[in-house]
Amino acid sequence: MSKPPTENMARSTKQRTAILELLESDDAFRSAQDLHAILRESGSKIGLTTVYRTLQAFADAGMVDVMRLPGGDHLYRLCGAEEHHHHLVCRSCGKTVEVAGPTVERWAGKVAAEHGFTDVGHTLELHGLCASCSK
């Protein structure tokens, strides 16, 4: 993928700026609803629809990582890396570590080939308790 980061965002608005700043100040995954609530508490009049659309645009542009909760909710997090990677998330505090998984990529390709599958992609997530929350 080589999309320019702004492909889906022709303009710069205060709403987008606000969302971006909020994401920059937090390194855990947040839901659209959470972000919207936080912005409203901060005095912003931003609409929920806008938060959803903006986050999707960010995601399409590769500016944020998207993750799905068991319940099906979407969580977003700022992400600079262009590279393919996975996440190790603390299920207690939400702290997230980005992890490269060349081993897994190779394994996935091999297994897929063995079964005659082509054009194979994968989703992988690790969740546990971080060092602090383990105590």
The least CB distance from residue 12 to its own copies, in Å, is: 30
Residue 49 and residue 56 in contact, taking contact as beta carbons nearer than 8 Å: no
List the interface residues with its own copies, window 51-90 (CB under 8 A): 68, 70-73, 88, 90
> What distance in Å separates the CA atoms of residue 121 and residue 1, rounded to the nearest whole number?
14
Return contacts of 44-47, CB within 8 angstroms, 24+ apart. Answer: 44/15, 44/18, 46/15, 46/18, 46/19
Site for DNA in 48-67 (CB under 7 A): 48-50, 52-54, 56
Only one of the segments 19-27, 30-38, 45-53, 122-130 lies at the binding site for its own copies (rule: CB under 8 A); that segment is: 122-130
At 54, is the secondary structure helix, strand, or coil? Answer: helix
Q: Tell me: does residue 132 bind DNA (CB under 7 A).
A: no
Among 22, 46, 79, 89, the residue binding DNA under the rule CB under 7 A is 46
